[in-house]
Amino acid sequence: MGLWDKLMGEFVDVIQWIDDSNDTLVYRFERHGNEIKFGAKLTVREGQVAVFVNEGQLADTFEPGMYELKTNNLPILSTLQAWQHGFQSPFKAEVYFFSTRRFTDLKWGTQNPVMLRDAEFGPIRLRAFGSYAIRVKDAAVFLREIVGTDGRFTTDEITGQLRNMVVSRFTNILGQAKIPALDLAGNYDQLGQFLLQRIAPEFATVGLELTNLLVENISLPKEVEAALDKRTSMGIVGNLDQYTQFQAAEALRDAAANPGGGSEAMNMGLGLAMAQRLSETLARPAQPAPAPQPAPAAPPPLPAAHPYFIAVNNEQAGPFLMDELQRQAQAGQLTRSTMVWTQGMAKWTPAGEVAELNTLFANLPPPLPNV
82: confidence class by pLDDT, cuts 50, 70, 90? very low
CA angle 137, 149, 64 (to 5 degrees): 40
Question: Would the pLDDT of 362 be above 60?
Answer: yes
Give the pLDDT confidence score for residue 316 in this predicted structure: 82
Give the pLDDT confidence score for residue 366 in this predicted structure: 64
Question: Would the pLDDT of 5 be above 80?
Answer: no
pLDDT tens per residue, range 161-218:
999 999 999 988 888 888 888 888 888 898 999 899 999 999 999 999 999 999 999 8
pLDDT tens per residue, range 22-65:
899 999 988 766 677 777 888 999 999 999 887 778 888 999 99
**8-12, 17-21, 222-226, range with the lowest pLDDT:** 8-12
Could you give the 3-state DSSP secondary structure of residue 345?
coil
Q: What is the model's pTM?
A: 0.57
Taking the CB of residue 3, how many other CB atoms lie within 10 A of it? 7
Report, as an integer, the average pLDDT of 221-229.
Answer: 72
- Between 176 and 153, name the one with better pLDDT: 153
Give the pLDDT confidence score for residue 272 in this predicted structure: 59
Q: HEC string of 6-41?
A: HHHCCCCCEECCCCCCCCEEEEECCCHHHEECCCCE
Give the pLDDT confidence score for residue 114 in this predicted structure: 86
Give CA–CA dist 68/76, Å, rounded.
15
Sign (positive or negative) of CA dihedral 200, 204, 205, 207: positive
Give the pLDDT confidence score for residue 10 in this predicted structure: 47
**Under the phi-then-psi rule, with left for phi > 0, alpha for psi from -120 to 50, and beta for the rest, what region is 337?**
alpha
Could you give the 3-state DSSP secondary structure of residue 226?
helix
Question: In this structure, are residues 17 and 24 in contact, taking their beta carbons and an 8 Å threshold?
Answer: no
Give the pLDDT confidence score for residue 237 in this predicted structure: 58
* Nearest residue to 77 via CA among 34, 119, 108, 106: 34
**85-99, 151-165, 170-184, range with the lowest pLDDT:** 85-99
Give the pLDDT confidence score for residue 81 in this predicted structure: 53
Give the pLDDT confidence score for residue 199 in this predicted structure: 92
Angle separating helix axes 264-283 and 240-257, nearest 10 degrees? 160
Give the pLDDT confidence score for residue 143 in this predicted structure: 93
CA angle 132, 136, 138 (to 5 degrees): 135
298: confidence class by pLDDT, cuts 50, 70, 90? low
Give the pLDDT confidence score for residue 141 in this predicted structure: 94
pLDDT tens per residue, range 252-296:
667 667 766 555 555 555 555 556 665 665 566 656 656 666 666
Give CA–CA dist 46/65, Å, rounded.
8
Average pLDDT value over all residues in the chain: 77
Report, as an integer, the average pLDDT of 322-343.
Answer: 81
Taking the CB of residue 125, how many other CB atoms lie within 10 A of it? 15
355: confidence class by pLDDT, cuts 50, 70, 90? confident
87: confidence class by pLDDT, cuts 50, 70, 90? very low
Give the pLDDT confidence score for residue 347 in this predicted structure: 84
The residues with which 96 forms a beta bridge, in sequence order, are 28, 51
Query: Which helix or strand (DSSP H or E) is residue 329 part of?
Result: helix 322-330
108: confidence class by pLDDT, cuts 50, 70, 90? very high
Sign (positive or negative) of CA dihedral 221, 222, 228, 231: negative
Taking the CB of residue 151, how many other CB atoms lie within 10 A of it? 12
Give the pLDDT confidence score for residue 88 in this predicted structure: 46
Question: Would the pLDDT of 105 be above 80?
Answer: yes
Give the pLDDT confidence score for residue 117 in this predicted structure: 86
Burial of 257 (0-12, 13-18, 19+ CB in 10 A): exposed
Give the pLDDT confidence score for residue 83 in this predicted structure: 44
Could you give the 3-state DSSP secondary structure of residue 170?
helix
Taking the CB of residue 109, how many other CB atoms lie within 10 A of it? 15
Give the pLDDT confidence score for residue 306 in this predicted structure: 67
